[in-house]
Amino acid sequence: MKVLKLHPHMTISLLQMQMQRLLSCNVAVYMRHSLANAFDTLQEAGFGEEALVEFPIDETLSLREFEEEVEERFNFTLELCNKDNKPFTNKSQHLFQISSSQPRKEERNYQLDISLDMLINNRGSQQNISF
């Protein structure tokens, strides 16, 4: 099962790397109806959670259903895009169709996992600092 990991201090670019690895597609994230900067955090984009959230991806959902579910649950807007960063026009296409159409590399992206761990650990140490 594919699991999307979201954290309020995660950058848009880290989310994009995750989507590339999980579904072999790109993603555009919007903040207040404008395209978000790659260095903006999910919290700035509207993510309301305070800690890491592991969100299982139901690959039987259509692109539209997945985008709506993420928006309803996490309060930020995303749009799945093809490799050229153009939004998919067939929003009734299922997630498994886009991920299976791409050749898969069985590489593990350790940089992504390390970044998430560092983000969580760094956030925990920042909370213990007092001035």
Looking at residue 29, its pLDDT comes to: 93
If one counts the domains in the chain, the total is 1
Q: The domain containing residue 61 runs over which residues?
A: 3-127
pLDDT tens digits, 33-62: 889 999 999 999 999 999 999 999 999 999
Which positions of the chain have pLDDT values less than 50? 106-107, 129-131
Buried b / exposed e over 20-55, threshold 16 CB at 10 Å, is: bebbbbbbbbbbeeeebeeeebbebbbbeeeebbee
Looking at residue 123, its pLDDT comes to: 59
